[in-house]
Each structure stands twice: as C-alpha cells, then as structure tokens.
Structure 1
C-alpha cells in the first residue's frame, strides 16, 4: 500500500504543465463520476481512439501529446497492428464505458470533455489528420472542439505572410505631404532655371 502511494506521489510530481492543464480542464468539466480520476479517463479515451486509427497516425497522436499523457498513450500506439480496428461510435462508447466502469451516457460526456481539452493543446493539423480517419459518427466526438481558447486553432498557418511588413505603411507619405513635396520640387526647379521643356519652347 505504501509503495503504491509513493508511486502515485512520484507520478504526480512529474506531471508536466500542459498535461496538468488538460487534467484540470477535464476535472472542471463536471463530466467525471466521483470515483474516476482524470489521468485514468484521459488515457483510456485516447488509447481507445488510437485503436481506430492507422498505426502511423496513432503514433503521430502520441507524439503530439504532452509528455505525461504521451507516456500513458505511447504503449497503446506502439504495440499494435498497422491496420486500424473498425468500430462505430456506439462500440467506442461501450468499450470506454466498460474500461472505466461507467455507463455509455457518462462515457460520451467524458469523451467530449477529454477531446475538447486535448484538441486545444495539440496542433490543428494533427486534429484534422485524426478526424480524416474517423467515420462520420465518431467525428461527432472528435474534431468538434476547435473553439475559442484553442491556442493552435486561432494561430494562422504562416503569420509572416498573413500580415504585411509594418514598414510599408511607414514609408508611404500622406497625400498632403505628397502635394507639398511636388510644390517644393517645382519651386526648386524654377529657381534653379531648370524649367520644363514645354515651357521653354513657348
């Protein structure tokens, strides 16, 4: 018992900030039953999801996760066949419910909370790559959470091209300044004797 408590304490101390933020988001969602901890729920949901993906995409998902959650999901993504398992949303929820000892309605609420928290912390490309491999009914659980608060969803793909360089507006003179400059140039030309050719001809 003491050994298990020490292990739990050691794991708790090693949680990275992003994983801790995800766990807190899930806990604050109100979706977790009292007996269920966020790390267990997050690991189960992501491992079950990874089974529906190709081996390569499952590994990409694991690699995109923050380190603490990655350590939980990595074995699920590594020790498996390359071909995805084929199952529906109903089967996904039943599998998750059985693993977490909850009913399917709770499994649906837990999945929504977990996927919303995770999608906000991984690149948008990874979110869409996963979504592209899921059947329509499972897309209702994954890929619907790119909302405000998502640091990746709101960031342009290439901000260097999205905004013009600030110096462009600084170097362009105002219209009044242009008129003043033209007048000054004409005055300078007249005083120096450099009169336009058409005027000299007349």
Structure 2
C-alpha cells in the first residue's frame, strides 16, 4: 500500500491561513520527531486515511480541506480505484510509519495530532462520513477528537445518548438575567458537559 505525497509543491506556494494553523497545531503537539515536518506528516496521514475510504468519500475529504493541504492530498484521492483498500489500525500505522521513517508508536502520536488539528477545521458531516466507512479500531483513531477543542456547534444525532444528563442548577439563570438568554446558556452548558464526557471516554 503505497503513499504518494507531494509536499514540495505545497511548500513552494503561499500557505493559506487555515492550513498554516493546522500545521502549527501539529508542530506544537510534540508528536513530530525532529526530522519530520508538519506538511509531510499531515499529507501522509490523510493520504493513508483516504486509501481506506471509497473513491467518492476520499474526494469529499480532499475537497473539505483548506487549499494548501488539499493540493497535497487531492492526488491521493483521485489517482486510485473507487473501491477502498481494506485494512485496520495496525496496518494503517505500519504503513504510515514506513513512509515517514518512524516507529508505530510515533505514527500513532502523529496520527492523533494530525487528525485532531484537521477535525477542528472541516465540516462535521465530513467527519462522520469518514467515520462511517472505517472499522472500529480506525474509528477510534479518527473520530475521538471531534468535540475536544472543536469549533463545531452541533453533534450528530446518533451521539445524543452518550451525553451526560444535565446537572441540577446548571441551567438556572441569575436573578437579573433576561429570560431570552436562558436558551443560549443552556446550550453552552450542555455543550461544555458533552466535551467533558468525551474526554473521560477517550
């Protein structure tokens, strides 16, 4: 299972703000070995992931990415068969490790850093669309970051049962608070509680 990632083209062009932010988050994660740059890590992790997806879903992923990263990943999503390659977490990490010249533990750390940064910047429907095509062990590697530090305001309906029940007193407005603000506070409190629940589960 080969990976073809052209990071030279991306490095030669100006980097868009969102791609730069993703690269910076990956660099600041502490997951990258000294010899490995963020563009190469991001490209390799996403290209390896795209091979596990159907051709259509892989193209959807590439289209959802900011322009600089899209230029790195799009060839992986287009020059391929429509059927996904079949592999699980172990083979994913081994393939990524071989390509980046790192061990599988480092490949796991790199994957988490890349996926966490990317999931903050792409639409929720794309996150869940990718997850729906992955086996259980790769779902954990990909989808575990979706709410932690994310800017996504809404959760997919199928996760509603996993949210903890609201705690007493959390949604009670202050005496001088206008009634129109109660809904916003309730939503924020529910969202905050959901994030804490996911962190405990992860």
The verdict on a shared fold, with TM-score over 0.5 as the criterion, is yes
> Matches of residues 1-202 of structure 1 in structure 2 within 5 Å?
11=11, 14-151=14-151, 153-155=152-154
Kept in 1: contact 2:47–2:73 (CA 8 A): yes
Kept in 1: contact 2:10–2:69 (CA 8 A): no
Kept in 2: contact 1:45–1:114 (CA 8 A): yes
Structure 2 CA distance for partners of 1:109 and 1:75, relative to 1, 3 Å = same
Cα RMSD (Å) of the superposition?
A: 2.2
Cα distance, 1:149 vs structure 2: 2.7
Gaps of 5+ in 2: 1-6, 157-179, 181-202
TM-score using structure 2 length:
0.71
CA distance in 1, matches of 2:115, 2:47: 12
Structure 2 CA distance for partners of 1:74 and 1:113, relative to 1, 3 Å = same
Cα distance, 1:13 vs structure 2: 5.4
CA distance in 2, matches of 1:76, 1:36: 20
- Paired residue for 2:183? none
Deviations 1:113-133 (A, max 9, x none): 000000000000000000000
Cα distance, 1:154 vs structure 2: 1.9
Cα distance, 1:12 vs structure 2: 5.6
Kept in 1: contact 2:10–2:71 (CA 8 A): no
Deviations 1:38-73 (A, max 9, x none): 000000000000000000000000000000000000
CA distance in 2, matches of 1:33, 1:107: 10
CA distance in 2, matches of 1:23, 1:132: 26
CA distance in 2, matches of 1:10, 1:72: 7
Cα distance, 1:8 vs structure 2: 6.4
Deviations 1:141-183 (A, max 9, x none): 10111224312x22589xxxxxxxxxxx7xxxxxxxxxxxxxx
Cα distance, 1:91 vs structure 2: 0.2
TM-score using structure 1 length:
0.71
CA distance in 2, matches of 1:47, 1:95: 11
CA distance in 1, matches of 2:137, 2:155: 29
Structure 2 CA distance for partners of 1:108 and 1:134, relative to 1, 3 Å = same
Say which one has the larger Rg. 1
